[in-house]
Amino acid sequence: MRKTVLLMAALLGAQGLSAQQTDKNARMQWWREARFGMFIHWGVYAVPAGTYNGFPMNRGGGEWIMNRSKIPVAEYQAYAKQFNPTKYDAEQWVKMAKDAGMKYIVITAKHHDGFALFDSKASEWDIADATPYKKDLLKPLAEACRKHGIKLGFYYSQAQDWNNPGGSVARKEMREGWPNPDSSRIDAYTKAHTGHWDPAQETKTFQQYIDAVAVPQVKELLANYGDVAVLWWDTPTNMTDEAAQKLQAALAAQPNIITNDRLKRPNFPGDYKTPEQKIPNLSELDGTDWETCMTMNGTWGYKSYDHKWKSVETMVRNLVDIASKGGNYLLNIGPMADGSFPEPSIASLKGIGEWMKVNGEAIYGTQGNPLPTQKWGRITRKRNGNGTTLYLSVFDWPADGQLLVEGLTAKISKGSILGAKGKVTAASNGAGTTVSIPAKGTNAIATVVKLDVEGIL
């Protein structure tokens, strides 16, 4: 009898896990097909733009200036009086993302400085109450995303909050920011006060902050903007399981929402991992869904003097590399305080879009490379009935027109080049398959050779 009960329990448990996996697969389907999204870091920190009292930040993104420079709460909140984004055009933002080939947007609804881009009833430290703009920034963005078929997600700093009392603080020594003769005293204070540097930050407890600000604001985000595709948590500094459970429970308002792995490790793993500013090696991947978030230059939030922009070639090849490993690419924009994108960002989006318009088929809805990594570029694939379609994104075009695909032994039924009419033939050999292609590629960044292969790879 006991064995029968244990067997039934095991079967029910397996069925439960299977049902959970089926539910997750349904929720994740659009995300796995999208492969490419836009991250937006925007807030009051765009006003100082990386400089405080005449000193540029030595380290960190522009969004960290309050912490790195230990700006007093009242002084930082005064920046909000200059945050008046009259050039903000949500539809233009969404169209630029769509034209670049991006399928979703994740915006900092509230970053670590605690400033909300929406009209919140839980705090007056928001766009409607603290700035001359006085209008919710997320509502027009949600409307534009619906209009243009772009999924919308919200970044929310659930634990760190440097302005709403009780929020936690990641301890960063002041000498990592701007030079200040009083830095030793301030560093000593932060060590004694769990990272806080202003008594105004400590007038409430962390639990009071969670109950009065974090949970109500998450509920507002999930109730007031239609379908929310992603809740992107960040930095669970001093997070507790109890607080995380309250935030997790709020997600029931949006049954189809997906979340990342930063709510509270390890007990709240979310739906996908989030490597930051790096593309994992194959040895680091374990079959879990993942998304690399990365900046276009060196900062997330706008810095007026950060001109280290990545080339369009680098960003496109990053996208291809990530897709070839089965991941997503969340590429960041840091808008200026007036609501406009920096010109280099606009130019980069246009360049990426030109490549994606021709070659997006090699990115959207693809799975990772089933073959060994190739020296000349990257491979993505799609299931095609009883066969497989391989997309060979060639970075280094062979001068002799002979492309060796190592490890490919299956029969090629058809070959072509995306966006071109060049002839493609293939012949198997001992090392794999040699694909004969035109003498020149069609795109210096990556020309995509499409092969229809018999069998499932």
How long, in residues, is the chain? 457
CATH number of 377-454: 2.60.40.1180
Q: Are 126 and 116 in contact (CB under 8 A)?
A: yes
- Residues with Cβ within 8 Å of 289's Cβ and at least 6 positions away in sequence, in order, are 28, 31, 32, 271, 272, 273, 327, 328
The confidence score (pLDDT) of residue 59 equals: 84
pTM for this prediction: 0.94
Helices 343-359 and 312-324: crossing angle, nearest 10°? 50
- Nearest-CA neighbor of 194 among 174, 170, 173, 158? 170
- Considering the chain, tell me which residue range(s) the CATH 3.20.20.80 domain(s) occupy: 32-362
- Nearest-CA neighbor of 397 among 450, 355, 439? 439
User: What are the residue ranges of helices labelled H in 149-255?
Assistant: 183-192, 206-209, 215-223, 241-250
Give residue 5's pLDDT band: very low, low, confident or very high (50, 70, 90).
very low
- 3-class DSSP state of 26: helix
The confidence score (pLDDT) of residue 57 equals: 87
Greatest alpha-carbon span in the chain: 78
- Our CA dihedral for 347, 351, 352, 357, rounded to 10 degrees, sits at 130
* Listed ranges 176-180, 362-366, 427-431; the one with the highest mean pLDDT: 362-366
Share of the chain above pLDDT 90, in %: 86
Cα–Cα distance between 368 and 345 in angstroms, integer? 28
Cα–Cα distance between 183 and 252 in angstroms, integer? 45
Taking only the tens place, the pLDDT of each residue in 315-365 is 999 999 999 999 999 999 999 999 999 999 999 999 999 999 999 999 999
- The residues with which 279 forms a beta bridge, in sequence order, are none
- 3-class DSSP state of 110: strand
Cα–Cα distance between 110 and 98 in angstroms, integer? 24
Q: Are 285 and 297 in contact (CB under 8 A)?
A: no
Phi and psi torsions of 259, nearest 5°? -135, 160
For 290, the token pair is: 């993942």
- Write b or e for each residue in 274-313: b if 16 or more Cβ atoms lie within 10 A of its Cβ, otherwise e: bbeeebeeeeeeeeebbbbbbbbbebbbbbeebeebbebb
CATH number of 32-362: 3.20.20.80
Taking only the tens place, the pLDDT of each residue in 146-172 is 999 999 999 999 999 999 999 999 988
Taking only the tens place, the pLDDT of each residue in 99-117 is 999 999 999 999 999 999 9
- Considering the chain, tell me which residue range(s) the CATH 2.60.40.1180 domain(s) occupy: 377-454
Cα–Cα distance between 46 and 302 in angstroms, integer? 5
Q: Are 80 and 14 in contact (CB under 8 A)?
A: no
